[in-house]
Copies of this chain bind each other. A is one copy, B any other.
Amino acid sequence: MLRKISTLLLLLLVVAVVKAQERTLAERLGYPADAKLLIVHADDLGMSHSVNAATLKAFETKLVNSGSIMVPCPWLSEIATYARANPQADLGLHLTLTSEWTHFRWGPVTPKDRVASLLDKDGYFRLSEAEAAKNADPKEVEMEIRAQIEKAKAMGIVPTHLDSHMGTLYQNKELFDVFLRVAREYKLPVRVAREWGPRAEVLQASLSANDVFIDRVLDINPSVAPQDWAKFYSDAIRNLKPGVTEVVIHLAYDDGEMQGATFDHPNWGAAWRQRDFDFFTSDGFRKLLEENKIKLITWRELGKLIAK
């Protein structure tokens, strides 16, 4: 009798799991299948004071509702103080293996001699994601990203999600597999999108039905002229498809510090980040969300879908 009940329960569980997989992500989160759900996500917290100050200001508007932190960067302590004081904030880790500004550099959390494949001749992370991925020993990558997660936790940050600065961990299957293995172990959702174009083929083979992945990522790129910034984002929001979209933005002020860091690198530079700040903290953006019936959600909700 007991055996029969167990078998029945098991059967019901299997049916439930299969059903769960059939439902859309929006439904699994408790929303209608056609709901338009958006995470407004600021990258690069901890990088500089300007990034921190602008992003924390944007969080106050509640229009920007998520962000991720670069543990190796010099201004980590400032954002760790915020995280400890605001445990409800949706803060993830922006796992970092590059140091992209010519005059403003950082290196690993792990002792340098153990992660030599990640470093340039001056002992910093490499300038580009392509160079970083080409040279990185996956074992050293795993050691370093684990060290970043552990350091964040030791400083009182309880991350809700993981992503990868400049996408280094999406550059090839070996690095992506390391990223997924560590994320699964910590039971944290990662920035992976169902609609990811060319990269999807390489990366999706590594994913399993138990991984939580959002529907799409929206980000601006250097082909958009500064005067078209608001139009690009406004059009994208008006045309937002149902499901979970993450808009990935980069906030900072166009001030001395950011101008110094990005002097030779206008893409994702000081003025770029000020434009993102201006748009995503504007009343215009608030109205667009209302008019298009877009609901803001966070990675914290997505993380609840992962069996703990």
Contact = CB atoms under 8 A, between A and B. Distances in A.
Interface residues of A, number: 34
Interface of A: 48-50, 52-53, 73-78, 81, 102-106, 109, 111-114, 121-123, 151, 154-155, 253, 255-257, 260-261
Given A111-B111, A256-B256, 13 more contacts: A49-B103, A50-B256, A50-B257, A52-B260, A73-B74, A74-B74, A74-B105, A75-B260, A77-B104, A78-B260, A109-B123, A111-B112, A122-B155
Nearest to A50: B256
Copies of this chain:
2
A148 to B, nearest CB: 11
4 closest cross-chain pairs (CB), A and B: A49-B260, A78-B103, A111-B111, A257-B257
Contact of A75 (B104, B151, B253): B104
Contacts of A109: 123
A53 B256 contact: yes
B105 A154 contact: no
A154 B121 CA distance: 9
